[in-house]
Chains A and B, each alone.
Chain A
């Protein structure tokens, strides 16, 4: 996929709909078609809101077509902060699970993947300068 395609205003809305269809397929496979349809509706509404909310700088930044260096930096920082929140929740849930006498799965695996990927990206980005 070309770089320009990723920054098209259609990419994120289209991706939302595709994810909705994947969720529908997975839910149907698991015998929960009704939930899958609801997920598809939600993802389609999200995609439509992103596509049609063009006057908002936030929407255009998320969508990609209105992204300049400041919005790219905001996106990077928001990704980092949300990743930090996710890590905290994963660690919290892992501790809760083992305190309940469970194995800690899947939180142990998620935490390990997060930690290893973070170290790998630090090394990679450091090598790239």
Chain B
């Protein structure tokens, strides 16, 4: 899995967890101090958050980063 030279995008369960909590993208964005468009980009897997933001997301949903973000089944992920 070459993650060194490419922009690596991971699958995630953010939208699913957000829906379970009944929160909007705007509410989640405000809680984390990012824009709604950033939350949308993460949920649609167009943007992979930084570690601090990933941990903040996990803390918001009272779960772990590993529960929220999923490596690709093939192990090489999608790249931009």
Residues of A within 8 A of B (CB): 57, 60, 66, 68-71
Q: Which chain A residues lie closer than 8 Å to B33 at the CB level?
A: 68
Task: Find out whether the CB atom of A57 lies under 8 angstroms from the CB atom of B50.
Answer: no
A contact face: mostly helix, strand, loop, or mixed: helix
Counting chain B residues whose Cβ lies within 8 A of the other chain, the interface size class is 10 to 19
Residues of B within 8 A of A (CB): 33-35, 37-38, 41, 47, 49-50, 53
Task: Find out whether the CB atom of A69 lies under 8 angstroms from the CB atom of B37.
Answer: no
Q: Which chain A residues lie closer than 8 Å to B34 at the CB level?
A: 68-70
CA distance A70 to B49 in the complex (A): 8
Instruction: Looking at the assembled complex, report how far the CB atom of A129 sits from the nearest CB atom of chain B, in whole angstroms.
Output: 15
Instruction: Looking at the assembled complex, report how far the CB atom of A70 sits from the nearest CB atom of chain B, in whole angstroms.
Output: 4
CA distance A66 to B34 in the complex (A): 8
Residue of B nearest to A68 (CB): B34
Instruction: Looking at the assembled complex, report how far the CB atom of B58 sits from the nearest CB atom of chain A, in whole angstroms.
Output: 16
